[in-house]
Structure 1
Amino acid sequence: MSVAETALFNPGLFLSEADLPADCIPLPDLLILNQPIASFYVFSRLWNHTNYRICADGGANRLYDMFDGALEAQREAYLPDAIHGDLDSLRDDVRAYYAALGVEVSQDPDQYSTDFGKAMNKISSKHASTTSQRETLILGTLAGRVDQGLGLLHEMIREETRDPLLRLWLFSESSLSFILRSTHNVIRGTASSGLFTENVGLVPVFGPAVITTSGLEWDVMDWETQMGHQVSTSNHIVAEEVHVQANAPILFTVERAPLNAGATVRAWK
């Protein structure tokens, strides 16, 4: 993507109850990491908007365990296409359950890559001939161990750098995070969808950047941002479109509104 192009983002598409637009081809992939799944309702909406679903090693444990108790009858309706990784975290009972139902279980013993990287390689192999933009939704977390959270951000920028056609969306316990590249970025629909709060951060975790914004309560122009210096966290979205011009990749993170069974979410102003 050249700097002259505009990158469009519509974060609400994947959390909406409505079908994805007809031009969303190919459908996104879903990567489930070995971290607690905080909300079945968020999970199920992501699942319904994706075509290929893969668990990174112990992510299969998390998927299986989510259906303990009241949801147990639904477990068989949510079978992943594959479980992939070094398989050192996959429980025997979980492996046996999914394998018996035809789920592919494959092992990559490489100790120089993480289960995230292994799973992404498997996803990429499914799209070897794809020449259009593709999306991967990641169900994970930035909470817990700090080193693992930072490592996940590192792997996200690595994967997007390797494949300019790839866009990653990280759905954590309370936020949605994605990478804005060195271009004019337009984020649409966070207010009207009712799926997000106004709280947003633009964090230069990948290195120093200069940004210009519009649509935020505290907009900036040609603003130098760098970890250890000045960073736009705890900002507020005040417009239907947010524009961010950046000369280097930055992390855009927006807080999700609560999403529960039967809940009605309303747009804020």
Structure 2
Amino acid sequence: MAVSEPMNGHSAGSTTTITHSSPFLPPRNGEQTRQALVILNSPIRSPPSPLFQKLWDSCCFHVCADGGANRLYRADPGLLPDLIRDSNDLDKALSAILQKKSMDTQQQQYTRIIIYGAFGGRFDQEMASIQALYKWGPQFQNRLVLIDDNTSAVLLPAGVKNEIRMPRYGDQTGKQQKDLGEGPTCGLIPIGTKCEKIVTTGFKWNLDGTIPLEFGGLVSTSNHLSEEVATVEASHPLVFTAEVACGIEDVF
């Protein structure tokens, strides 16, 4: 699903704008992209789905973490990672990417870190992947994306205007129905703390800031992206999650 790309623009009230743009959308305004892919210990189809293959081809650095190398080899022995961190976890893989970035002084910084295989396994491992969004997000300028063949997620920081750009939105008629990537079904999940105030645009069911999001109260699930650009401004961090079209009809 989406990725975060800090922007220099500001909305009314001098609020910083961060754009979370799908890796399946073309770069805007001629922007150059440099992506890294982290593969976790989660099933990979054999042969890999069109979505996985697209992600692999679009990334310049590939890291296997916590058994991900075995999964990758069984899916396609011809796909060789740049780095294997099988002896440990996602934290080690992200730390390795930070170290490589600091050494590549002549290279632009990564515009997106894609973590594949974050869902569908043990629940505690899924929560560890969500935790990584909170723990590592600031160090990667909120450019972390969790994704597999069904689901994606990014962290929306508090106190900024988050713009969300997905390839699949609206009624999904015509060509968009075949597009790889995220949407239109989505959710806004308050993990870790109550979100006191949230204002959105571009969703089928928007929030106007009068109702907080919290477990035991309202949690925005099964919403839909209705416009090309949706916005979220929140008092506390939220996880934005969306369904994924991987290019295979029967993904369950």
Relative to the length of structure 1, the TM-score reads 0.74
CA contact (8 A) 1:30 1:53 kept: yes
Aligned equivalent of 1:32: 39
Segments of 5+ residues of structure 1 without an aligned counterpart are 68-74, 87-113, 264-269
CA contact (8 A) 1:198 1:236 kept: yes
Segments of 5+ residues of structure 2 without an aligned counterpart are 1-5, 170-175
Q: Which has the higher contact order (CA 8 A, sep 6+)?
A: 2
1:221–1:133: structure 2 CA closer, same or farther, 3 Å change rule?
Answer: farther
Partner SS, residue 71 of structure 2: helix
1:166–1:8: structure 2 CA closer, same or farther, 3 Å change rule?
Answer: closer
Q: Number of matched residues?
A: 221
Are 2:85 and 1:84 equivalent residues in the alignment? yes
Aligned equivalent of 1:105: none
Are 2:111 and 1:125 equivalent residues in the alignment? no
One-letter amino acid of the counterpart of residue 171, structure 1: I
* 1:19-60 deviation per Cα after TM superposition (whole angstroms, max 9, x unaligned): 8975234x1100000111244311110011111101013100
* 1:102-149 deviation per Cα after TM superposition (whole angstroms, max 9, x unaligned): xxxxxxxxxxxx510011110110112578563100111322211111
CA contact (8 A) 2:190 2:219 kept: yes
One-letter amino acid of the counterpart of residue 126, structure 2: G
1:20–1:40: structure 2 CA closer, same or farther, 3 Å change rule?
Answer: farther
One-letter amino acid of the counterpart of residue 9, structure 1: H
* 1:221-249 deviation per Cα after TM superposition (whole angstroms, max 9, x unaligned): 11311122211001111111111111221
CA contact (8 A) 2:114 2:147 kept: yes
With 188-197 and 31-40 compared, the bigger mean Cα shift is at: 188-197
Structure 1 runs (4+) greater than 6 angstroms displaced: 18-21
1:227–1:131: structure 2 CA closer, same or farther, 3 Å change rule?
Answer: farther
For residue 117 of structure 2, the aligned residue among 135, 140, 159 is: 140
* 1:71-99 deviation per Cα after TM superposition (whole angstroms, max 9, x unaligned): xxxx33x211011142xxxxxxxxxxxxx
Q: 2:63 & 2:150 partners in 1: Cα distance? A: 22
Q: What is the root-mean-square deviation of aligned Cα atoms in Å?
A: 2.5
Q: 2:28 & 2:116 partners in 1: Cα distance? A: 18
CA contact (8 A) 1:36 1:140 kept: yes
CA contact (8 A) 1:10 1:190 kept: no
* 1:191-221 deviation per Cα after TM superposition (whole angstroms, max 9, x unaligned): 3663344211011113221211111111111
Aligned equivalent of 1:97: none
Q: 2:27 & 2:15 partners in 1: Cα distance? A: 31
Are 2:72 and 1:63 equivalent residues in the alignment? yes
Partner SS, residue 119 of structure 1: helix
Equivalence map 1:1-269=2 (5 Å): 4-11=15-22, 14-15=23-24, 22-25=30-33, 27-38=34-45, 39-67=48-76, 75-76=77-78, 78-86=79-87, 115-128=89-102, 134-161=111-138, 163=139, 165-182=141-158, 183-191=160-168, 194-195=179-180, 196-209=182-195, 210-222=197-209, 223-260=211-248
Q: 2:225 & 2:168 partners in 1: Cα distance? A: 8
Partner SS, residue 143 of structure 2: strand
